[in-house]
Amino acid sequence: MAIIDESFELDFAIDTKSQSRKAAFWALGDRIDCLRDGSSSDDIAMYIWLRDRLGSVAIGHGVAIPQVVFPMHEKPLLCVTRLNQPVAFGGPMENHQVDLIVAIAGNPRDQSIMLRLIGRCELMAQNRQLLQTLRNASSQSEIAHIFARNNAQLAQYPVAERRKVRA
């Protein structure tokens, strides 16, 4: 599965205002609400906030990958947000600082595709040079180019196949 293909829409934003994890989630909720019908920005932000409280969406290296599922008619959205000011997240280390949020929003029917996308994004987040390139990007077209260029590298990590379990 390609990271960026016809089944997903890509968005990029630079958040210059958020100074806390909660503020970053509410800004993200506003952004997703502007791009997708089906839920309010407060509902989206609250869903992300509650999901994070179950276990931090921060995965290390300054990256968080929140996901939100709600009924919508459009294709899933991959929303990359660079925070001008890193904010504290829980996560693997105490007071973990995040400055790059890769949010995934989709319909309940898209969950299997979204899970594969999360896995691919986690693999990308392990490449510090790639993360620095993402942090230096200043436009949506740059982000799209970075993801497209790195699809070939991700192809070496096969997606787990479904196996039938006999009862």
In the chain, the domains with their CATH numbers are 9-154 (3.40.930.10)
Higher pLDDT, 148 or 137: 137
Band the pLDDT of 81: cuts 50, 70, 90: very high
For residue 64 the two structure tokens come to 């968080």
- pLDDT of amino acid 139: 93
Q: Does the pLDDT at position 136 exceed 90?
A: yes
> Per residue in 37-73, pLDDT tens?
777 899 999 999 998 888 888 888 899 999 988 887 7
